[in-house]
């Protein structure tokens, strides 16, 4: 029903993307999202400044796997020459495309002049794209918002200038920076950009399921949709969207046992690439998302927020699922966890 689209040589099929999210879109989440049905995935936003100063951690966060392709590495920064340098590193790391962040509204990013703050310095924003495009052979794209605050109508002319400077696609989060994630995304702004931009436009904002994905595509004419917060603890959303966009019956919602199995799989993948304690600490918020909304989830979350090892999380899951089986007859797969030999970070 809805065709794939191209960003230069990169084919996005199905036309649905996993959004870059700091602290969340690590390699395991990207692999699981691609396997579930995402057409393209993105890394966390990574600092061009950090790369310039030789940050080992930033380099490590650029580690990619074949099973996640196509994959974009997203960068943020303020200096065009450093953005060009970072784009070259991203391409060397194997990125299928380089995405420049002009949408992050987190204060610690904006106060440096990066992220959404670039919308207030349009000439610098254009130079960022031009510098990166001149440094790499892969496509360079941009993710942006609809201005810094309500009534800001300069974002659309800027988006056109970014395309003229070499952006091969533009993702538009249809909220202002001042909104952060509050209020409703204004999809009419996505439609306006589609009319003006001669490159693929990816719509972002309030896509919380297959129905919303279809509506955004139909109402705005965008080439694809991007899903962020709705994918946290819910990689199944990509399979549901993929099936719906292809005119097929979407798979059913996962059972509690399947949610628990995926949560543990995700954690094991991350623990395979990080020190175990650090992996558990960093994944605590995401683990809580997997069982959100289920009876007993509040107590589960409280336990997880104290866990420091994979074994502790496994024990909590087994306890949770035994209780879940009691209130949902037939859900007996309380030990249905993936074999650890299949959960390495590069298993893709």
Q: What is the per-residue pLDDT across 204-227, written as a single tens digit (0 to 9) for each?
A: 999 999 999 999 999 999 999 999
Residues 28 and 138 in one domain: yes
Assess if residue 250 is contained within a domain. Answer: no
Least confident residue range of 19-23, 175-179, 261-265, 319-323: 319-323
Kindly state the percentage of the chain with pLDDT values over 70. Answer: 93
Residues 160 and 232 in one domain: yes
Residues 195 and 328 in one domain: no
Return the CATH number at 231.
Answer: 3.20.20.70
Tokens 């927020």, residue located: 305
Burial class (CB within 10 angstroms; exposed 0-12, middle 13-18, buried 19+) of 255: middle
Q: Which of 242-256, 313-327, 334-348 has the highest mean pLDDT?
A: 242-256
pLDDT tens per residue, range 236-257: 999 999 999 999 999 999 988 8
Average pLDDT score over residue span 50-68:
95
Give 326's pLDDT tier (boundaries 50, 70, 90): low
Structural domain boundaries, residue 274: 256-342
Residues 228 and 300 in one domain: no
Q: Which residue in 188, 262, 258, 227 sits closest to 20, CA to CA?
A: 227
- For 152, other C-beta atoms within 10 Å of its C-beta total 17
Decide: 163 and 170 in contact? Cβ < 8 Å.
yes
Residue by residue, DSSP assigns 53-72 as TT-HHHHHTT---GGG-SEE
- For 92, other C-beta atoms within 10 Å of its C-beta total 10
Residues 157 and 282 in one domain: no
pTM for the complete prediction? 0.90
- Is the pLDDT at 81 greater than 90? The verdict is yes
Burial per residue of 268-277, b for 16 or more beta-carbon CB atoms within 10 angstroms, e otherwise: bbbbbbbebe
Average pLDDT score over residue span 50-66:
95
Assess if residue 251 is contained within a domain. Answer: no
Kindly state the percentage of the chain with pLDDT values over 90. Answer: 84
Question: Of 245, 271, 287, which residue is a domain's last?
Answer: 245
- Is the pLDDT at 338 greater than 70? The verdict is no
- Give me the number of domains the chain comprises: 2
Residues 226 and 331 in one domain: no
Average pLDDT score over residue span 122-127:
98
From the candidates 104, 138, 222, 265, give the one annotated as an active-site residue: 104
- Is the pLDDT at 343 greater than 70? The verdict is no
**104 belongs to the catalytic site:** yes
pLDDT of residue 296: 80
């Amino acid at each position: 029903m809805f065709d794939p689209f191209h960003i230069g040589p990169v084919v996005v099929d199905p036309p649905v993307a996993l959004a870059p999210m700091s602290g969340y879109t690590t390699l395991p989440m990207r692999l699981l999202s691609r396997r579930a049905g995402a057409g393209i995935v993105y890394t966390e936003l990574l600092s061009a400044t950090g790369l310039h100063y030789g940050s080992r951690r930033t380099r490590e966060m650029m580690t990619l796997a074949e099973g996640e392709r196509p994959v974009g590495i997203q960068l943020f920064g303020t200096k065009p020459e450093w953005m060009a340098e970072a784009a070259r590193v991203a391409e060397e790391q194997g990125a299928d495309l380089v995405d420049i962040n002009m949408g992050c509204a987190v204060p610690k990013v904006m106060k440096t002049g990066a992220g959404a703050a670039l919308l207030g310095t349009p000439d610098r924003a254009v130079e960022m794209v031009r510098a990166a495009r001149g440094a790499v052979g892969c496509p360079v794209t941009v993710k942006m918002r609809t201005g810094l605050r309500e009534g800001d109508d300069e974002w659309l002319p800027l988006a056109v200038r970014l395309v003229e400077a070499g952006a091969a696609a533009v993702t538009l989060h249809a909220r202002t920076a001042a909104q952060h994630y509050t209020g409703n995304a204004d999809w009419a702004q996505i439609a306006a950009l589609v009319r003006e931009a001669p490159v693929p436009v990816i719509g972002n904002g309030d896509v919380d399921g297959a129905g919303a994905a279809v509506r955004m595509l139909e109402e705005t004419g965008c080439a694809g949709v991007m899903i962020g917060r709705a994918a946290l603890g819910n990689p199944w959303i990509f399979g549901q969207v993929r099936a719906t966009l292809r005119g097929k019956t979407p798979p059913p919602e996962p059972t509690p046992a399947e949610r628990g199995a995926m949560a543990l799989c995700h954690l094991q993948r991350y623990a395979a690439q990080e020190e175990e304690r650090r992996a558990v600490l960093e994944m605590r918020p995401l683990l809580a998302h997997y069982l959100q909304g289920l009876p007993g989830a509040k107590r589960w979350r409280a336990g997880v927020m104290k866990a420091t090892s994979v074994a502790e999380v496994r024990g909590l899951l087994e306890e949770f699922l035994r209780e879940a089986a009691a209130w949902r007859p037939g859900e007996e797969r309380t030990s249905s966890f993936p074999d650890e030999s299949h959960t390495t970070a590069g298993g893709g």
